[in-house]
Structure formats: structure tokens, C-alpha cells
Chains A and B, each alone.
Chain A
Amino acid sequence: MDIVNQLQRQYVDFLSSLYREGLLDDQFLQIQKLQDESNPDFVNEVVTLFFEDSEKLLHNLAIALSVDQQHVDYQKVDACVHQFKGSSSSIGAQRVRNICVSFRTCYDAKNLEGCLRCLQQVKDEYYLVKNKLQTLFRLEQQIVAAGGAIPIMG
């Protein structure tokens, strides 16, 4: 039971640090709330979807912004970033979303340099949040494996 307690505390600390650092916002909380008996793996499912989509989008973005430096397909960039912004805000990955917003001002201004910078930032942030979320899930799994319940925040 001690282990469970410890894991649970660790989980709470970790999650609250994610909120504190602004990596996640209330939306993630909402998603967690949506998970119940009828939908036991909801969070994981959504987040996995998010990972898959994001990696595809990042790949597309990287191609769009590097293939031909002269004629960047800003429409494609727009589509990708819009998607990314939508999914990140749905998941509550706040910092990714914010960079998407500034990304948008960059490609609106056709500022290639800014776009590349934003792409790098968004990649960094994405991998950071991915890392953190994976850690979080690992913790969850450990708690479940140890026979405890996942604590609800909020």
C-alpha cells in the first residue's frame, strides 16, 4: 500500500508540475473527467491519436518548409498548423498550442525564417509534452499494476 501511496503522490506531483509549467491546461483535466467505466481508456486513446497525428503533421511541416525554400506552400503549412493547433488545444497541450498561434502570425507574414524557428519550437515543445505524457502514463500503469486507483485532480 505504501508503494501505491507513494506512486499516487508521485503521480499527483508530476501532474501538478505539468500544470504549473503550463505544459497542460484545464482541457486535459476535462479529458480525464470524460474517462469513466464506459470509456476506460479514453485518455490514452486520445493522447495516442494526438501523438500519431502530431508526428505526421510535424513531418509534413518539415517537408513543406524545407523542400523548396523559394516557394513554400503556405496553404499546406496553414492546414497543418491549424490541425496541430486544434488537436493540441483539445488535448490541453497549452504550450504547443501557443506556439501554433505564433506560428500562424509567421506564415501569415510569409516569414520563412520565423516559420522555421516556430517549427523547431513546436517540435521541441511537442517532444517535451510527449515525453511528459508518456511518463505520466507509465506512472498510471504502475499505479494500476500496484493495484491502486488513479487519483483525480481538480
Chain B
Amino acid sequence: MTMKMQGYHTVAVRLNDPFGTKRKYTFINKVWLPKILALWIMIMVFASRVLYNRMDAENKERRKEVLVSMCDQRARMLQDQFNVSVNHVHALAVLVSTFHYYKNPSAIDQETFAEYTARTAFERPLLNGVAYAQRVVNSERDEFEKQHGWTIKTMEREPSPMRDEYAPVIFSQETVSYIESLDMMSGEEDRENILRARSTGNAVLTRPFRLLGSHHLGVVLTFPVYKFKLEPNPSVEERIEATAGYLGGAFDVESLVENLLGQLSRNQAIVVNVYDITNTSDPLVMYGREHQDCDISLERLSMLDFGDPFRRHQMICRYLQKAPTAWTAITTASLIFVIGLLVGYMIYGAALHIVKVEDDFDQMEKLKGQAEAADVAKSQFLATVSHEIRTPMNGILGMLALLLDTDLSSTQRDYGQTAQACGKALIALINEVLDRAKIEAGKLNLEVVPFDIRAILDDVLSLFSEKSRHQGVELAVFVSDKVPDIVVGDPGRFRQVITNLVGNSVKFTEKGHIFVQVHLADHAQVVLGASSDTTLNRGFKGAVSSHFSTLSGREAADDRNNWDTFKKLIANEEFMCNASNNVIGPDELFQNVTLMVSVEDTGIGIPVPAQERVYMPFMQADSSTSRNYGGTGIGLSISKCLVELMGGQINFISRPQIGSTFSFTAVFRRCQNITTGDMKKSLAGDLPTTFKGLKAILVDERPVRAAITKYHLKRLGILVEIAASIKIAATMSGINGIVRSRNRLQQDMILIEKDSWLSSEDDFLNLRLINCKQNGDDNLLSKMILLATNITSAEFDKAKAAGFADTVIMKPLRASMVAACLQQVFGTGKKPQGKEMLNGSFLRSLLCGKKILVVDDNRVNRRVAAGALKKFGADVECAESGKDALALLQFPHNFDACFMDIQMPEMDGFEATRRIRMLESKANEQMNGEYPPANRTSRTTEWHLPILAMTADVIHATHDECLKNGMDGYVSKPFEEENLYQAVAIFFEPKPVSDS
């Protein structure tokens, strides 16, 4: 119960385990994954934005630089050209002063001036024209007007009003001839200019205004012309005093800049504005439109110096068009973004996949755990259920057995027997399933007890003998002489494997033979290894010949299993036996002995495709197998497990329609103590020794079969000579007879195989004749015994007539059976005891009058046990503790048996038993010393009280424990009739029915 509970407990723990450890290896969280993806996308957006900004800024910087350089270039050029023009005007001023004032008379008149200026106009491309205005004070006006013949006019072309001073134009370039005689001082701008020019002595500029002729924006440049060379650093008054006139020129700034820009026309994308910013609060436009469509975001301001310190000018440049969209930046940034996005998505996908795979893995783990748990649970369930079924089934079978012992009509008996057969089949199946479950659960422990292999094989054979005989299949067993008589191992399991294999063979074999061989494994391997080479060399020679030298003459699956090999095995064996008389064989030194058992049949074989799943439980060759032959297909798988538990391995060779040969190895321990005498006797289902030393001739044309028969006869101590035919046997018998005719009987028996007899009946007569001749006395005649697998009644009659003994030895041979037959033939046997009836009355006959001691500390148990035993006529005495029992069992006592409870306070059953045994051995020693054997009680030669344990839990371990502690057996508590009978029957002879 506790074990079971633990089992379930571990299952539960295993089931829980996967949940506990789940997810500890997951490094990606499924919930966080989308968030991480979103974050990644945001980062990518930011990154590409930054990239874009940087590229854009770079572009702008470059644009700005371009603008700056362009603007500066323009400003410089403008300034240069302007300065060139100014210089030229200056030169004109110098010209005028030189030739008009220093020369007397003047070398220049209007015509000269006009021509000169016209011809040098290319030097002053920026000037519309130049003119010279003479300084005329009011007092000189009349004289001046007379001299020139015109009056001084204002700018409005009216006669000038009276002023302090005038500046009428006297020379003018042709382009501006319209201003001749106009008073320059009448214009506001010009007047200011003139005044400033003469006081500074430098070129001065007006603020921009619309020029008279072209109506272009322009400025007027004015140079003072002095009458004489001035002192260095003259004062303002000196300058004004020395002023003779003014040379002026109109700069057409618009044309100027237009021209300039025309020269640089390759870059139209720029807008240029020139301002006069003398008055900073109100810049005046010199060039360019005030409100032009342009990119106002970026501008360059370049200062211009036109040589007039009073006036300040500046140039402002702008791009005409807005900065073009930075496609490169955009594409680069978006490309980076897209790449980032893709990378992110790929990682996301991979992570998702990982998560999914991990989930799947988890699930698989869980399922695996469940499957394993289910498997364990299945095994436990099977074990439990099988066990639970087995218990009531045993009841059913027991009751059926009891029922069949009662008086039944034949129909009732038939029904009962059928039910019993079915029940037995069921319990066999359940046992198999239980075994399988136990093996799977690893709970199957092998026993370690000494046993006789040959006896076990005989038992197995006896199980199938009826069936094989019925089918006419030759069933035979051969155990090599090298195999020890007693080995230590698990006889039950060994028997189970062989039973299973032989059972399969019997099931699937309709004609031919089933041959079980046991050899030492290493020995057999050497021989088989050698012979497999030779068979390979021989090729198909064996298959061509219609007759095979196997047991039945039919072909066997394993080519090696023929007489050649078999002969070698035996021969080798004999040789080794001889050798080992002197030298202990290497095998002997070891504790272990490995046996190789092979079961060869000539059945239907296993289809090749099915061969690989032979060992799988519940698998049969095909579905029709179970229909035709029955069975569950669990046997081989159990056999395999058992063989593996026994430290061996199982394999097979099978050829469809020819047969199968299963062979397995198993490791057993050699029996330690050499004094196996008693044990052998007790274990080896005692074979009679009455035939020891008898001689026999065996006539068999098949060497393998002959060897087997010889093996069985040898076990009985019979010396056997083999003759291949009756003729040879006759010769052998004859020759021997001549040599030692009178001494004693040559052969005690002649065993003849049925086949050999039928094939040569004439020879047989001959043999018989010789036999008769040699031994005149009928009693001394060699017994003729027929060996047969099956025999018809006609054949039997014929055999009898031919002089065979009444008893035909039927195959399959078993030593004990052969012995029984021989006993019949020789008349030495006692009448075999019939199978006793198994029921209460028999139990009563066993127990009646016996004095039995019941030891149990539990009053109720004691009373019940006593009651049960009394019921069967026993004389019961009780003891309530181990001590009391010991007191009662002091010698001499007259108890026949003792039933002992195991678990008792103070002194338990084991302890009590040990003490009883000690007492007994002491008593035995004394008795051997004191009393002659005749005085002993007739019942025993030595004191040995059968002690049976009474125990509630009937498990194997307890049984072992009981035996270990000197008990003789155990009965379940409370008593069951059959169980009690089985236990008691071992110790008490059934005979005393008449005694009591």
C-alpha cells in the first residue's frame, strides 16, 4: 500500500515539475516584444531625422557659402569698376584743371571736351556722361553770361534766380549735352554734392535718385577742380577759395549693376540689391526691386566702398529660388529608416519565432512528462489491475477445481473443464501482462536458487508432449554434458522463456520437428562460428539434396543446425571432458556459466517484414496469425526482457515456410557447494537408478535423433551404442555375441526407431534371430523396444507381433518417462501412484490424529487456527508466544508440526524457529551419540519439526525469509483449504488414513 502511494506520489511530482521549471530559459518576453519593436521604430525615425537634419544643414551651409562667395565677388567687381570710373573722372578733373585753368588761354573748349569725353567713354562704362560746371559767383554772373552768350538756367530750364554762387555747366559730353548751361547748384542733390566736394577735395556721391535722361536710378559723382595746386593739407576755406569748378558724372547704377550681372550672367539664380545706407534708418534703394520674389531666408550682406567716406553702401544678395528640396538627404534618410525598419522587423520576427519554438518546446516537454507519467501510470495500472484480477481468478480456478472433484454429469464436467481451461488461459495472460508491467516498472527480481536444468526442460517438454504427439511433430531436447547438473538462477523465469519459445514453435509447426538444445555458450559459439564458415563455402549444396541431416530430416532455418555441427559439438564436448579430467577448463574457474539455448522448429517461419517487430508486445506477424493460431503476441517481448534480465540475449533466424530457430543465452551461477548429492536428488525429480549399467543398442538412421535418445538413456545410466540401421545393429550384436557369448547378456535392450524398423523389417527379423540364437533363455532375451513419435493401433499390433515389448516409448523423450517405460518393460517398476484427490477429506486424511502446535499471540487468531485444524481432525495445542512454544517443544515432545505466527512481541516467529532448530540440532547430536538407530522413533531419523509460518501478507520476500530462518513453508492467514493442503502435503504422507 505504501509503495503504491509512493508511486502515485512520484507521478504527481513529475507532472507538476514541468510547470515549476517552466520558462526559466526564456529571455524574450512575449508581452514586451511589440513594445520593443515600437521603440526600435521610434529610434529609427529619430535617427533618420537626425541624419536628414545633418545633411540638410550641410547643404544649407554649402549654399550659404556659395551665396557669400558670389555676393562678395559681385560686390568686389562692382566696387572695382566703380572705382575705375571714379579714377577716370578724377583724371578728367585733372585734365580740366590742367588745360582749362593752368593754360591761358584755355586749351579746352566745349568741342574738345565733348570729343575727348566721347572718345574716352569706353573707359567709363558706368557713367552716362560727364560734364564740367564752372564756379561762378554772383558778381561774376553777368560777365560770365556775356562771355558764353547764354544765361544760367535752373534745373527746370528757367533763367536762374539770383544766388550767391552758380555752377553752370560749360562742358558736357554729348550724351548729356542737355544739361549745358544748367546751374548744378540749383538741384538739391547736386548743390549738396558740390559743396561737400569742394570742401573735402574728394569725389563725392549723391544719394540715389532718378537721373534726368534715362530715369534710371543713379548717383552723381562730383569732383572739385581747383584753380591752382593746393598746399598739402589745405584747410576747408583754402579749398573753397581755390575751387574753380566741378566735374560731375552720373552713374547709372542700374545699368552698372545690370551690366555687371550680365558679365556674371551664368548665375541667374541670385537676386542682388544695392542700398545706400548713409541714413541707416532709411536705406535707399540703389538697385533692385524692393519686393521681389526670392528666398528671404538666406541673404548676404556685402559692404561697398565707392570712395566717398560720407556715403555708405551695401549689397544684399539673395537666392532667387528657395533652396531646392534635398532629395539626397531625404532618400538617404528614408533608406536608412527602411533598412532599420526591416532589420527591426526581422529581429522581431526571429524573436517571435524563438518564443513560439520555446512555447512549443515547453509544450513538448509537458507532453513528454505527461506521456512518461502516463506510461508509468499505465504500468502501475496494469500491475494493480492484473493483481486485482488474479486474486479472484485464483478463487474461481480453485473453486472450479473443487467443483470438478465432485460428482458431475459428463455435460457438467465438460462445462466445468471448459471454464477451467478458459480461466487458466486468462490467468496465464494476466500473469504475462503482470510480468510485462513488472519488467517495465523494473520491479521484477530474479530468484537465486539452485535448480536442475534438465528437469526443467523435461517438464517443459511434458507440457507440450501431448500436443506435439498429436500433430506428429518430433519434439526433442538435448542438454550438453558440459552443462552442469545444478545451476543457480531463477528456474521459474528460465522455464517461462523456454515454455514460451517451445509453445510458439508447437503452435506454428505442423510437421517436422522442434528441437531444444542447451550448450555452454562460449563452447557453442566456437563450434557454430567454425561451421558457419564451412556452410558458407558449401553454398547451396545442402539445399539441393532433398534430405537434411536435421532431427526430422526437414530443412531448418539455421543451416548450421545439422548433424555436422551437432557432431562437432558433441565430439568437442567429449574431447573437452577428457581434457578437463586433468586440467580444469577455463570455464570452471569462473563462478558464472553462460548457457546457450536454442529452439529450432520447422514451422511456418516468420515473414521477413514482420521479423523486426517480433519482440514488440502485442505484435504478431499479421492479423491473421492470432486468428489462426491464437495468442496475444506478448510472450516474446516478455521472453526478451527476461533473457536480458538473466544477462543474456535472444535472437533468431527465420525463413518463411522453412522454420525458425530462436536461441538465447543466459548467465547462471555454478552451484557452490560440491556436496550436491542431496540437493540434486531433491531438485532433480528423482530418476530411478535401477537401470545403471545396462547396455543398449540404439537403432536410428538419423544421427541427431540418435544422439538425443542417447542423451536421455545416458541420464538413466544406460550405456548406449548407436547403429545407423538394423543390419549394423545385427552385426554388432552378432560379433559381440561370439566373443563373450556365455558370460552375460550382451545387450539388455535394443531400442529401435519406428522409421528404421518400418524401412527394413527383414533385417529386423534377422536381428531377432541372432538375438534368439545367442540367448536361448527367453528371460535373458534383449528387450526390443520401439521408439515412436506417434503410432497407429495397427502399427502397434504389428510391432507386438514382430516381437517388440508391449511398451512403446513415445516421443518426446523424457528421462523420467523413459525410466517409467523401461520399468514396465523390465517389470521392476512399482505401481505408479494415481493422482490423489484434492479436497477436504484428503486434507483430513493428512492431518487426522496429528499433534499440532499453533503459536500466535493473538487469541482470536489462535482460536480460529485451532478451530480450523481441529476440523480436519488434528490434535491442536496452542501457545501464545515464542517462549511458550519453546517451553512446549523441549525434548522429548510429540508434536508433528508447528504453525507459527511471524510477528509476535518479544520473540517473533523467526527467532523462535531459529531456537527450535538449535534445540533440534543439539538433540540430534545427543541422540546420535547415545541411542542406537533402532531405538529411534520410526517417524524420523532425525528431529526436524515441520514449522510453517502463518502470515497475512503472502509475498515472495516473506517466503524467502521463512526458508532462510529454518521454516519449512508458509500458510496464508486466515487459512485457505487449498493453501493449507499444499503446505501440509509436503510433510505428511497421505498413507495414515488406515492408521487412524
Residues in chain B near residue A92, CB distance under 8 A: 974
- Rounded to whole angstroms, the CA-CA distance of A87 and B952 in the bound complex is 11
Q: Which of B14-22, B859-867, B931-939 contacts A (4 or more CB under 8 A)?
A: B859-867
Q: Determine how close the nearest CB of chain A comes to the CB of B872; give it in whole angstroms.
A: 10
A85 interfacial by beta-carbon distance below 8 Å: yes
Interface positions of A from 31 to 60, Cβ below 8 Å from B: 31, 33-34, 36, 38-39, 42, 45-46, 49-50, 52-53
Q: How far is the CB of B27 from chain A (nearest CB, A)?
A: 42
- Cβ contact within 8 Å between A31 and B867: yes
**B9 to A: closest C-beta gap in Å:** 12
Min Cβ gap A130→B in Å is 13
Given known A34-B868, A90-B860, contact A85–B974 (CB-CB < 8 A)? no
Q: What is the bound-complex CA distance between A90 and B973, given in angstroms?
A: 8
Secondary structure type dominating chain A contacts: helix
Contacting residues, chain A, for B5 (C-beta < 8 A): 105
- A90 near B871 with CB under 8 A, answer no
Q: Which of A77-112 contact B (CB under 8 A)?
A: 79, 82-83, 85-87, 89-92, 101-102, 104-105, 108
List 5 additional A-B contacts (Cβ < 8 Å) besides A31-B864, A34-B870, A90-B860: A34-B871, A46-B864, A86-B973, A87-B861, A90-B974
Task: Report the nearest A residue to B863, measured CB to CB.
Answer: A46
Most buried by A among B859, B870, B901: B859
Interface contact A102-B1, CB-CB below 8 Å: yes
- Within A118-153, the residues touching B (CB, 8 Å) are none
Which of these, B1, B871, B905, B952, contacts A86 with CB under 8 Å?
B952
Pairwise interchain contact B952-A89, C-beta atoms closer than 8 A? yes
Interface range for B: 20 to 34
Query: Is the CB of A5 closer than 8 A to any CB of chain B?
Result: no
**Would you give the 0/1 interface string for B409-425, flagging 1 where the beta carbon is closer than 8 Å to chain A?**
00000000000000000
Contact residue among A36, A49, A52, A102 (Cβ-Cβ distance under 8 Å from B871)? A36
B860 touches A30 (CB 8 A): no
17 CB contacts below 8 A, A to B, read A30-B868, A31-B864, A38-B870, A39-B870, A46-B864, A46-B867, A53-B859, A79-B905, A83-B857, A85-B952, A86-B901, A87-B861, A89-B974, A90-B858, A90-B863, A90-B973, A91-B860
With A42-B867, A86-B973 given, is the CB distance from A108 to B2 under 8 Å? yes
CA distance A114 to B871 in the complex (A): 41
Q: Is B160 an interface residue (CB 8 A)?
A: no
Q: Scoring B residues 488 to 507 as 1 if CB is less than 8 Å from chain A, else 0, what string do you get?
A: 00000000000000000000
CB of B903 closer than 8 Å to a CB of A: yes
Tell whether, in the assembled complex, residue A49 and residue B868 are in contact, meaning their CB atoms are under 8 Å apart: no
A13–B867 Cα distance when bound, in Å, is: 26
- A34 to chain B: which residues have CB within 8 Å? 864, 867-868, 870-871
A89 touches B2 (CB 8 A): no
> Nearest Cβ in chain A — how far from B661, in angstroms?
50
Known: A30-B974, A89-B952, A101-B1. A50 touches B867 (CB 8 A): no
- Select from chain B the residue with minimum beta-carbon distance to A42: B867
CA distance A105 to B1 in the complex (A): 8
Q: In the bound complex, do residue A105 and residue B2 qualify as a contact, i.e. CB atoms below 8 Å apart? A: yes
Determine whether the beta carbon of B858 is less than 8 Å from that of A86: yes
Give CA–CA (A53, B5) in the complex, Å: 31
A108 nearest in chain B by CB position: B2
**Distance of A104 Cα from B856 Cα, bound (Å):** 20
Give the distance in Å from the alpha carbon of A104 to the alpha carbon of B867 in the complex. 28
B867 & A87 in contact (Cβ 8 Å cutoff): no
List A contacts of B901 (CB < 8 A): 86
Judging by beta carbons under 8 Å apart, are A91 and B864 in contact? yes
Tell me which residues across on chain B come within 8 A of A33, comparing CB atoms: 871
Give the residue name and chain of the B residue nearest to A85 (CB).
B952
Q: Which residue of A lies closest to B976 (CB)?
A: A30
Point out the residue from B856, B860, B905 that lies within 8 Å of A50, measured CB to CB.
Answer: B860
Instruction: Note all chain B residues with C-beta closer than 8 A to A104.
Output: 1
Q: Mark B817-860, 1 if CB is under 8 A from A, else 0.
A: 00000000000000000000000000000000000000011111
Among A46, A53, A104, find the residue whose CB has the most chain B CB atoms closer than 10 A: A46
Bitwise interface map of B from 1 to 40 toward A, beta carbon under 8 Å scored 1, else 0: 1100100000000000000000000000000000000000
Most chain-B Cβ atoms within 10 A of its Cβ — which of A45, A46, A82, A86? A86
Q: Which residues of A contact B952 (CB under 8 A)?
A: 85-86, 89
Taking each of A30, A87, A90, which has the highest tally of chain B beta carbons within 10 Å of its own beta carbon?
Answer: A90
A91 to chain B, nearest CB (A): 6
The answer to whether A27 and B974 touch (CB under 8 A), given A82-B903, A102-B1, A108-B2, is: yes
